[in-house]
Amino acid sequence: MIKSVPARARRALPEARGAVKDRRLMTSHSFAAHGPLRGTIRVPGDKSISHRALMFAGLAVGQSRITGLLEGEDVLATAAAMRQLGASILRGADGKWTVHGAGVGSLLEPKTALDMGNSGTSARLLMGLIASHAITATFTGDASLSGRPMKRVIDPLMQMGASIEASPGGTLPLMLRGAQPAVPITYRLPVASAQVKSAVLLAGLNTPGITRVIEPVPTRDHTERMLTGFGARLEVGEEGGERIIAIHGEADLRPMDVTVPGDPSSAAFFMVAATLVPGSDLTIRNVGLNPTRAGLLHVLRQMGADITEVDARDVGGEPVADLKVRHAQLAGIDIDPAIAPSMIDEFPVLFVAAALASGTTRTTGLEELRVKESDRLAVMAAALKLAGARVEEHEDGLTIHGTGGDPLAGTPEGALVATRLDHRIAMSMAIAGLASRDGVRIDDTSPINTSFPTFMGLLAEAGQ
């Protein structure tokens, strides 16, 4: 049972009460059709890998170096938290990061609340990391993150012995007291979630014995790949069609150098933009193509996109290639819900692509989108309708009737879209603006900095 945050905890950590307030200055911006996207761009480092590189290096004994780290607000929240837990983390003038880890089992108790900002990955993975250490930490976040569900992580961590006192509904702010020693468990994921899987595996690092996670549906496997590289003893098998990951506890992680590939979720916006804007011929360099993350690439190709992989290679244990994207007319399809875990963050921009396709695109099995930074099904349906798209919202997905390649036609003054503090809504509707007759105005572009601080500059560069 999840306990409520006691009054004494709130008094002891007054910053937790104010942390849920949004602290950004709203910045609106208009996006309109312009010339083709051409040339070569490079998107920032993968956000999922950047988070994990900082955490795992922070648990290793010795010095690790990270090249290509995404320097967005979400990842910087992870860096700040790992510093509080005892890791030394420095950014060099050359953009490379150096981490001296604290060691598994040797984390320090943070002196103030860990402010996760807007980052669900930071919150859930760090909860797992701390859960098997004999320290206490309070987690806070902004208004958006404080509305997101944490019970899916709280439940298995409490089974392992952690004590967690959460806000009503199992949300942030919450206080976590780690178990020492924690108890190894075998946990079957009730929902496909790489964050929950990773939280349990991270808790298992400092837990005597073997902790197992059972995945009925495979999710992104960056944690398994990278933990193995850092020296964790980890076994991955399959039984009855389910994936089973076992981690041996009381691990000693060794330092390693990490090169972070380009984020496929960031590349997605430019893949769709170059596909939709006539005359485009854009190369996106160094894009991570991990099979558990490449769902959008497969779906766009099914719809008729012209995307070629160039110079396929391996970078730090992750498959990488340059993507050459040319304008193409898309056709609507019924999207297999089984592919959702490999492109869950890319559905907002896929909805934009579907709005310009010929025919109808149907999506199902996307209930998870309702508990992201915003309710992405409802917010994208409303935004696309404002921009002139024909959209039907269902409980678990959207049905979108495409224009056949004609520009979206909203209101003459241009649609004003409410992003609801969601970076992917803002960027997706910016791409919709490029394919619209009257343009799209975004009420607040500041959330983009959480994951893709160079988005606006790259969009201008590609359109010149």
- The mean of the pLDDT values for the chain is 93
Name the token pair of 123. 């919150």
Would you say 390 is a known binding-site residue?
no
Query: Residue 62 contacts by C-beta under 8 Å, 6 or more apart in sequence?
Result: 100, 101, 254, 255
Identity at 199, one-letter amino acid code? A
Would you say 148 is a known binding-site residue?
yes
Tell whether domain 29-43+261-463 is in CATH 3.40.30.10: no
Would you say 21 is a known binding-site residue?
no
pLDDT band at 357 (very low <50, low <70, confident <90, very high): very high
Please give the average per-residue pLDDT across 417-439, as a whole number: 95
| For residue 17, pLDDT beyond 60 | no
Instruction: Bin 361: left if φ > 0, else alpha if -120 < ψ < 50, else beta.
Output: beta
CA 305, distance to chain mean position in Å, is 24
Q: Residue 448's CB: how many other CB atoms inside 10 A? A: 25
Query: Residue 38 contacts by C-beta under 8 Å, 6 or more apart in sequence?
Result: 279, 280, 281, 282, 462
Would you say 345 is a known binding-site residue?
yes
Q: List beta partners, residue 138.
A: 175
Q: List beta partners, residue 165.
A: 3, 175
What does the radius of gyration of the chain's CA atoms come to, in whole angstroms?
A: 22
| C-alpha dihedral, 51 to 52 to 53 to 59, nearest 10° | 120
Which is higher by pLDDT, 56 or 12? Answer: 56
Would you say 433 is a known binding-site residue?
no
What is residue 377's DSSP assignment?
H
Would you say 376 is a known binding-site residue?
yes
Query: For position 446, what pLDDT does the model report?
Result: 94
Query: For position 415, what pLDDT does the model report?
Result: 78
| For residue 4, pLDDT beyond 90 | no
Catalytic status, residue 314: no
Q: What fold is seen in the domain 47-249?
A: UDP-n-acetylglucosamine1-carboxyvinyl-transferase; Chain (3.65.10)
Q: pLDDT (tens digit, 9 = 90+) per residue, 364-408?
A: 999 999 999 999 999 999 999 999 999 999 999 999 999 999 999
Cβ atoms of residues 268 and 25 within 8 Å: no
Query: For position 59, what pLDDT does the model report?
Result: 98
Would you say 404 is a known binding-site residue?
no
Distances, alpha carbon 239 to alpha carbons 225, 242, 252, 339, 381, in Å: 20, 5, 28, 20, 39
pLDDT band at 464 (very low <50, low <70, confident <90, very high): confident
Would you say 52 is a known binding-site residue?
yes
Asked if 29-43+261-463 and 47-249 have one fold, the answer is yes
Residue among 207, 193, 167 nearest 4 (CA): 167
C-alpha span between 161 and 177 (Å, rounded): 9
Q: Which of 221, 345, 422, 438 is catalytic?
A: 345
Per-domain residue ranges of the chain: 29-43+261-463, 47-249
Q: pLDDT (tens digit, 9 = 90+) per residue, 307-319?
A: 999 999 998 789 9
What is the pTM assigned to this prediction? 0.90
C-alpha span between 266 and 458 (Å, rounded): 11
- Is 366 in a helix, a strand, or coil? coil
